[in-house]
Amino acid sequence: MTADSSSGFRDTVQRLSAAHEAIPHAEFHGLLSLEHREMPMDEWHKVVQFASGQCALWQVRWLASPAASPDRHAGEESGRWQQAYVTYLAPLLARIPNIQEPLEREHGLRLAQCALARRFEETRGRPLSRLSSALLSAAAIVLERVGLSSVAARLRTASLYPRGTAGRAGS
C-alpha cells in the first residue's frame, strides 16, 4: 500500500475506512509518513477517525475470541492501534484543545457500535440469544441511570460477549 501524493493518501484512507476491515497497524503506519503530518486538520481528523475504527475492530476481535485461547495477535494489534490513535490525536489536540472530549466520546461509541454489530451478526438466526442480549443491554441502561454503574457494566459486557470469550473472562 503506497500513497504518492496527499490526494492518493486521502483516497487510500477513505477506501480503507469504507471497507470496515481490520488491517495491521504496521501497514497503515508505513503509509502515514511524517510528511503527512502537515495535512489540514480536517484531513488529519479523518486519520484519527480511521485509527479509532481500527482500535474498535481489533479490540472487539480480541474480546470476542475464546478466553481459553485468546487471539493474541488481535490483542497486540488493539494495543498498537490504541497507541497510534493517541499519537494521531495529538496534532488535533494541539491545534484544537476543546475537541478532546467529543473525540474521546466518539471513540468510545465507535467501540460500542463495533461490538454491537458483531454481537448482532453472531445472534442472527438465534432469537433466544438475541433476546437475551437485548434484555441484558436494557437492564444495563436502567441500572446505569439509577447509579449502579459497576453492575451495569457487567450486564453490558454480558450482553455483548458470550460466556467463554475474552470479553467475559474478567466478569
What residue ranges do the domains of the chain occupy?
6-100
Candidate from 15-24, 35-44, 141-150 with smallest mean pLDDT: 35-44
pLDDT over 60 (residue 23): yes
- Residue-wise pLDDT for 48-60, tens only, equals 898 999 999 999 9
Closest CA to 64 of 74, 54, 79, 55: 74
30 close to 1: Cβ distance less than 8 angstroms: yes
Tell me the pLDDT band of 74, cut-offs 50, 70 and 90.
Answer: very high
Mean pLDDT over all residues of the chain? 83
Closest CA to 60 of 109, 116, 124: 116
Question: What one-letter code names the amino acid at 59?
Answer: Q
Instruction: Write down the pTM of the prediction.
Output: 0.80
pLDDT over 50 (residue 34): no
**164 φ/ψ sector (left φ>0, alpha ψ -120 to 50, else beta):** left
**Rounded-to-integer distance, Cα 25 and Cα 5, Å:** 20
Per-residue pLDDT at 22: 82
